[in-house]
Amino acid sequence: MLLQFQGMMAEYERALIIERSRRGKAFRARSGMVNVLGGAPYGFRHIRRSDVCEARYEIVEDEAQVVREMFRRYSDEQASIGELARWLTGEGIPTRTGKDRWDRAVIRAMLRNPAYVGRAEFLKTGTTDRRPAINRQARLQGRSVSRHHAKFDRPKDEWITIAVPAIINEATFEQAERRLVDNRRFAARNTKEPSLLMGLAACSCCGYAYYRTSTRTAKRKIYYYRCLGSDDYRYPQGRVCDNKPVRADYLDDVVWTHITALLADPALVQNELDRRLTDMRATNPATSERARLERDLTRAAKAIERLVQAYQEDLSPSTSSAPACPICAPNRTASRPPSTRSKKSSSAPNAWSSATASPCETTPF
């Protein structure tokens, strides 16, 4: 019962610490402190807090020129994100992490970042209990469930704005934002024919996901599933996987046949559900936290058992010689009576010893 109570208090203290940390960061963000944010985006330098000034963002002028040119090409010249990635890579401009190759997702995130117009936002995202899709690292480790929680975009009225130096003007940023919304709305992928394994198939060799591509013959259009690791243009050193593309109609027929056979047998469905529940329990962060608390409780119980055993064997610290106090050690040496005193003198009240007693023996604590 005691161990269960200790585990409950430890879990409550953990939740309390997380909530206090969140409230403290939100208060600092409302006060305009940038140290609650992560690393500074491309074009800025994060100056740490010192004894004379608070933390702040400082514009890096050579990177700021790249940001202004990127927004100009996207807003005025109607350049695509892929063209911007090829332009930056061709110019040999390194990324913030020092890479020579620019990814489209990085450029898209930069075009959406309001910090370039002087508004660094805090609490833009949140976490939910829903599990996100597994990534390449999880596939290579053989896990079918992610260890992390899925994130979602918070409404803009919940964001906390922190003022930072601006690199571009508001009109340029709004024009780029409108174009991003239009591209998402009128994208060509919204009119494509769906397939059975879109976003579900992955390569067993390199762990990258499969995407659908197509080729056209004289009579019809044929779809394929292709591994991301087999594309030369995606990686500086060339492809990382030698798997060949797979016909989408062939693979869809094989998978659909297995699915219909699985649905026809309730026992197979139950076994699959049991297996997935077992994997979810094994990779759940709450399960690992509970296992850690159980290990701590086991160590505490063993320590208590050793103390009780030492006390029973008359080896407890209370019966052993206590460490000498630096104040009263000389007084104890001086006030120790001779060992050859008589029984009469030992039975009488020792006024001299009481008068020269150490402070630790006479002063109550």
Q: Which amino acid, 128?
A: T
> Which pLDDT value is given to residue 36?
84
Mean pLDDT over residues 249-277, rounded? 86
Q: What pLDDT band is residue 8 in, cutting at 50, 70 and 90?
A: confident
Band (172; pLDDT cuts 50, 70, 90):
very high
**Range 2-191: architecture per CATH:** Alpha-Beta Complex (3.90)
How many CB atoms are closer than 10 A to CB 190? 8
Q: CB under 8 Å to 351, separation ≥6 — which residues?
A: none
Min mean pLDDT across 6-15, 163-172, 210-219 is at 6-15
Q: How confident is the model at residue 327 (pLDDT cuts 50, 70, 90)?
A: very low
Question: Under a CB-based contact definition with an 8 Å cutoff, are residues 162 and 31 in contact?
Answer: no
Higher pLDDT, 356 or 37: 37
More confident call, 254 vs 263: 254
Provide the residue ranges of all domains of the chain, joining segments of one domain with +: 2-191, 210-289
What is the per-residue pLDDT across 85-136, written as a single tens digit (0 to 9) for each? Answer: 999 999 999 998 888 889 889 999 999 999 999 999 888 887 776 766 777 7
Mean local confidence (pLDDT), 12-25: 85
Average pLDDT over residues 29-55: 85
The mean pLDDT of 268-285, rounded to a whole number, is 78
Q: Of 52-56, 88-92, 206-210, 304-308, where does mean pLDDT reach its minimum?
A: 304-308
DSSP labels for 91-125?
TT---TTS-SS--HHHHHHHHH-GGGGTEEEES-E
Mean pLDDT of the chain: 79
Kindly indicate the confidence band of residue 302, based on its pLDDT and cuts at 50, 70 and 90: confident
Q: How far apart are CA 288 and CA 274, in angstroms?
A: 19
The pLDDT of residue 322 is 46
What is the pLDDT averaged over residues 180-184?
Answer: 87
pLDDT band at 321 (very low <50, low <70, confident <90, very high): very low
Tokens of 161: 């704005």
CA distance 107 to 95: 10
What are residue 25's DSSP bridge partners? none
The answer for residues whose C-beta is within 8 angstroms of residue 197's C-beta and 6 or more apart is 210, 225, 248, 251, 252, 255
Q: Give the CB-side neighbour count of residue 243, counting CA atoms within 13 A.
A: 20
pLDDT number for residue 233: 79
Judge whether residue 67 has pLDDT over 80.
yes
Q: Which residues pair with 222 in a beta bridge?
A: 215
Go through 97-106 and write b for each residue having 16 or more CB atoms within 10 A of its CB, e for each that does not. Answer: eeeeebeeeb
Residue 278 pLDDT: 81
| Residue 84 banded pLDDT, cuts 50, 70, 90 | very high
Where is pLDDT greater, at 339 or 142?
142
Span of 4-13, 120-129, 238-247, 254-263 with lowest mean pLDDT: 4-13
